[in-house]
């Protein structure tokens, strides 16, 4: 049963990636708002959104009602710690050796003294949490997003961020437990992660005119911010004005 499910999920993903490469040759992704796969992404977004509204959100709301915040914080810490081997790998791949050593120490301390990551004594001791993944590494190496993707069940992503699915899965200790152990723990992770996003999606529902476009742009900018560790060069902001000013000047020329 599980195998079947995994297989169909994988083949769906493969199909997606296949279609992507099919379209890549035909489309031009130079300008900022390009979304060459929108016609495939949108239906998947709508499917994810329906599933989210009817199943995941009610569960996540129920979960936040019955679980006190300190407990949810412990659970979030635990799952953050499980992803940390992937963070460490990508620290080193991005040439951040000092951060890689700090993060290794952080992982060791929180896994032992922090009782398997439930507690975060490392942060108290000055070893703060970092956010790195293979998609960010590819960004640091100079790859652009190529194309925005919406993955079934997983949500917003991009061609640049897909390979991280492999490294983060391979480096998550949970992957190597039997299904009977891993499945219920993963279920808690999914519900807890969704609960942590409730505020963000409420913000989206309140502000978005077109939730698909809103999510896409927010995802893109969030990823750029992460690639630059929260400090993108001001050039990233200048590009926006340059585009606009060029456009306005062009228009003026056409009108005059």
Task: Tell me which residues touch another protein (CB under 8 A).
Answer: 33, 203, 206-210, 213-214, 216-218, 221-222, 224-226, 230, 232, 234, 237-238, 240-241, 243-244, 247-248, 251-252, 255
Least separation in angstroms between CB 8 and another protein: 33
Residues 211 and 204: beta-carbon distance below 8 Å: yes
Least separation in angstroms between CB 249 and another protein: 11
The set of residues, in sequence order, having a beta carbon less than 8 Å from that of 252 and lying 6+ positions away, is none
The set of residues, in sequence order, having a beta carbon less than 8 Å from that of 16 and lying 6+ positions away, is 40, 149, 151, 152
Least separation in angstroms between CB 182 and another protein: 29
Integer Cα distance of 7 and 198 in angstroms = 30
Which CB sits closer to another protein, 26 or 209? 209
Q: Which residues on neighbouring strands pair with residue 150, listed in sequence order? A: 156
Least separation in angstroms between CB 38 and another protein: 10
Local structure of 119: helix, strand or coil: coil
Which CB sits closer to another protein, 181 or 207? 207
Residue among 194, 191, 192, 213 nearest 204 (CA):
213
Least separation in angstroms between CB 130 and another protein: 14
Which CB sits closer to another protein, 97 or 243? 243
**Terminus-to-terminus CA distance in the chain, angstroms?**
67
Which CB sits closer to another protein, 171 or 227? 227
Centroid of chain to Cα 247: 32
Least separation in angstroms between CB 202 and another protein: 9
Integer Cα distance of 101 and 187 in angstroms = 31
Which CB sits closer to another protein, 158 or 172? 158
Residues 153 and 190: beta-carbon distance below 8 Å: no
Integer Cα distance of 229 and 99 in angstroms = 12
Local structure of 156: helix, strand or coil: strand
Which CB sits closer to another protein, 22 or 255? 255
Least separation in angstroms between CB 66 and another protein: 18
Which CB sits closer to another protein, 144 or 243? 243
């Amino acid at each position: 049963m599980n195998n079947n499910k995994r297989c169909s999920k994988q083949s769906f993903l493969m199909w997606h990636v296949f279609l992507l490469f099919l379209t890549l040759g035909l489309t031009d992704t130079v300008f900022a708002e390009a979304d060459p796969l929108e016609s495939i992404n949108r239906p998947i977004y709508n499917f994810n959104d329906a599933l989210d509204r009817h199943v995941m959100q009610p569960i996540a709301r129920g979960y936040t009602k019955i679980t006190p915040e300190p407990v949810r914080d412990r659970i979030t810490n635990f799952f953050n710690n499980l992803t940390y081997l992937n963070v460490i790998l990508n620290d080193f791949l991005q040439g951040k050796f000092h951060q890689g050593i700090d993060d290794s120490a952080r992982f060791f301390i929180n896994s032992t003294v922090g009782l398997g990551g439930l507690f975060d004594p490392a942060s108290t001791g000055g070893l703060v949490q970092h956010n790195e993944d293979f998609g960010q590494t590819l960004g640091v190496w100079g790859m652009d997003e190529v194309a925005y993707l919406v993955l079934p069940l997983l949500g917003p992503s991009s061609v640049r961020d897909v390979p991280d699915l492999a490294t983060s899965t391979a480096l998550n200790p949970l992957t190597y437990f039997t299904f009977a152990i891993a499945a219920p723990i993963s279920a808690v992770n999914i519900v807890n992660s969704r609960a942590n996003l409730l505020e963000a999606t409420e913000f989206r529902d309140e502000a978005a005119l077109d939730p698909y476009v809103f999510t896409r742009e927010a995802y893109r900018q969030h990823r750029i911010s992460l690639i630059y560790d929260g400090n993108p060069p001001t050039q990233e902001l200048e590009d926006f004005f340059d585009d606009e000013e060029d456009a306005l000047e062009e228009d003026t020329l056409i009108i005059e």
